[in-house]
């Protein structure tokens, strides 16, 4: 409401307060929708960058499908892959036996430094090192889950809400309903 206190003097020397009604403009759903879509695209780009960080030092480069969804008022971003190796790393593996094919030998180096760590969005230098080993069977100890999906989700859940609120605030401002 607008308040105008200087228009008239009241009897007895006081001021008269005049209230004027403010009628806001109509809401424009298309403006809000466009702001949300623009923000979803920005968030999608940043989330995809986080996934890329998890494999930045890998020789094997998994591909990620990604996009935005905006069904009936529930905006969202999705990132997914069907890459088996990425699945083994992010979800981990149990101890297992690896056997050479058709009477051959497994050939590998004796040491290995992981390029990723659990609950870390990123990857570092690492890989195989040491003497060459030949074996018919290996008892692999398994791989600790890196939990990339969960870690990225934990990072982005609160940020996503903030980004969507920013989009709504911009939409309200453009429609004449913003505060500021």
- Per-position DSSP letters for the chain, written without gaps between them: -EEE-SS-BPTTSPBPPEEE---PPPP-HHHHHHHHHHHHHHHHHHHHHHHHHHTTT-SS----EEEEE-STT--EEEEE---HHHHHHHH-B--EEEE-GGG--EEEEEEEE-S--TT-S---S-EEEEEEEEESEEEE--B----HHHHHHHHHHHHHHHHHHHHHHHHHHHTT----
Please tell me whether the overall predicted TM-score, pTM, comes out greater than 0.85 for this model: no
**Residue 2's pLDDT is what?**
46
- The predicted-structure confidence for 15-30, as pLDDT tens digits, reads as follows 778 887 766 667 788 9
Average pLDDT over every residue of 117-124:
98
């Amino acid at each position: 409401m607008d308040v105008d206190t200087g228009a008239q003097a009241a009897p007895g020397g006081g001021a008269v307060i005049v209230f004027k009604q403010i009628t806001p403009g109509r809401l424009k759903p298309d403006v809000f929708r466009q702001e949300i879509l623009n923000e979803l695209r920005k968030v999608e780009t940043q989330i995809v960058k986080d996934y890329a960080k998890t494999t930045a030092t890998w020789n094997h480069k998994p591909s990620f499908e990604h996009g935005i969804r905006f069904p009936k008022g529930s905006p969202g971003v999705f990132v997914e892959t069907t890459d088996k190796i990425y699945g083994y790393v992010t979800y981990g593996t149990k101890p297992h036996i690896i056997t050479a094919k058709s009477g051959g030998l497994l050939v590998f180096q004796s040491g290995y430094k992981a390029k990723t760590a659990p609950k870390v969005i990123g990857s570092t230098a690492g890989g195989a090192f040491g003497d060459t080993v030949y074996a018919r069977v290996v008892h692999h100890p398994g791989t600790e889950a890196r939990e990339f999906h969960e870690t990225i989700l934990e990072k982005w859940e609160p940020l996503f809400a903030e980004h969507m609120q920013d989009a709504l605030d911009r939409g309200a401002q453009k429609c004449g309903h913003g505060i500021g």
